[in-house]
Every structure is written in C-alpha cells, then in structure tokens.
Chains A and B, each alone.
Chain A
Amino acid sequence: GAGVSQSPSNKVTEKGKDVELRCDPISGHTALYWYRQSLGQGLEFLIYFQGNSAPDKSGLPSDRFSAERTGGSVSTLTIQRTQQEDSAVYLCASSLFSLRENDLDTQYFGPGTRLTVL
C-alpha cells in the first residue's frame, strides 16, 4: 500500500519568506509526527498529532513554526519568516496508534522535505 508521502521533496527559499510543508500519512493512521534533522544533528522531535489535535506543542522551535492537521489526515507544517537556521530535512511519520497507546505505535517515515533557506 501507499506509504507516507511528503511534498515538496526540496524547497529553496529566501530568508524571511514563509514556507508550507505537507505530509500525507498512511490512510487510517491515528498519529502523525513531525521531525527535523539539521546538518550534523540527530532527529529533533517537533510535534505530534493524535487525530487532529496536538497534545504538546512545546517541541516547536519558535513561534514562527506552526502545524495543523485536518480531517485526521493531511498535515501541514508552516514556517513563517524563515531563517537560515531553519535549513534542515523535515521528516513526517505516521503510526496506527498514538504515543500513549500500546506498543503497536511503530512509525513509518516519509521521504522528507529538504528545506534550504538562503
């Protein structure tokens, strides 16, 4: 079946512009996660959705970052007034169950969006 898809695969933008990254999770997956990997760093958790709601938004790096999920499916991660330090690969993952439920919450990752802020 179809896996997690993300678009665009690459995005180059100028400092100060807004960008929107999209994630299409696996159909029927309750939970959706956003991560980023900056150059030379590990995976950084940003936010996770259980259905359409995000229990904890404290992982978002700044108030320029926001995310939403509608209809329990597609999610968008928006970065306003991009800065050079926002350059990273943004990964989305989905899992059948949410973080607080049993051990069947294996995450399936999308291919990522490589964001470059000039």
Chain B
Amino acid sequence: ILNVEQSPQSLHVQEGDSTNFTCSFPSSNFYALHWYRWETAKSPEALFVMTLNGDEKKKGRISATLNTKEGYSYLYIKGSQPEDSATYLCASNRDDKIIFGKGTRLHILP
C-alpha cells in the first residue's frame, strides 16, 4: 500500500467498554509511526511515536503497538470514557514526507 489507511472510519462504543482500531501504512522506507488525538475545535495532540518493530507504548488507558514488517499499528483504549471521544489519527514518516490517515472517529455512548 502507498497510503496510510485507518479503519474503521467511525466507531461507537459504550462507556466502559474497551476498543481498538487499526492503522495500515507502507512498510518500505519507514521511519516512524505517530498517533494523534484530535478533538473537535482543538489542535491534534500527539499520543505516541513508535519506530521499532514490536514497539508498544502506553499512556494511561491508551496503548499502541507497531508491526513495521507488515505495516500496521493498533491503538487500544481500555475502559472508554466520554472524554475519549475524538478523531484518532495515525501518520507515517516516509522519506521527507509525513502521510496522515483520514482518522477513526470515536464516539463514546453514555
């Protein structure tokens, strides 16, 4: 693949449930994979940067894994809370560009 693809595009999750979504990226000329959280009317906020195959990062209830050989990353949210509602973007550094996916829009249902 040449683009960064994220799935699903949109996701509704009951408060308290755990969820995960996927980012697929070109595995050639890979440097780093970023995850961002983008709330409506705010700027994107960096969550994780990962560079090595097998990397796992965690920040509170959110964690991410990286597979550079097959070109995918998962973002996990444990015990979803209303404040987790946002668009989650992933981006891949490749050569001198950074390519973003279109995001997964997460809605947490009360």
Binding site for B on A (CB under 8 A): 4, 33, 35, 41-45, 48, 55-56, 58-59, 91, 93, 99-100, 102-112
Contact = CB atoms under 8 A, between A and B. Distances in A.
Contact of A91 (B43, B46, B50, B99): B43
Given A91-B43, A91-B44, A99-B96, 7 more contacts: A48-B96, A56-B96, A99-B32, A103-B49, A104-B49, A106-B34, A109-B45
Contacts of B109: none
A64 B104 CA distance: 32
A109 B43 contact: yes
Given A42-B89, A104-B49, A107-B46, A99 B31 contact: yes
B50 A103 contact: yes
B51 A108 contact: no
Contact of A102 (B43, B51, B91): B51
If over half of B's interface residues share one DSSP class (helix, strand or loop), that class is named, otherwise mixed; here it is: strand
A42 B91 CA distance: 11
Q: Which of B32, B43, B101, B103 has the most CB of A within 10 A?
A: B43
A105 B16 CA distance: 33
Interface residues of B, number: 22
A48 B98 contact: yes
A107 B34 contact: yes
Nearest to B33: A103
Contacts, number: 60
Contacts of B102: 41-42
B49 A33 contact: no
A115 B97 CA distance: 23
B98 A99 contact: yes
A42 B49 contact: no
A45 B32 contact: no
Contacts of B96: 48, 55-56, 99-100
Contacts of B27: none
A105 B49 contact: yes
B100 interface: yes
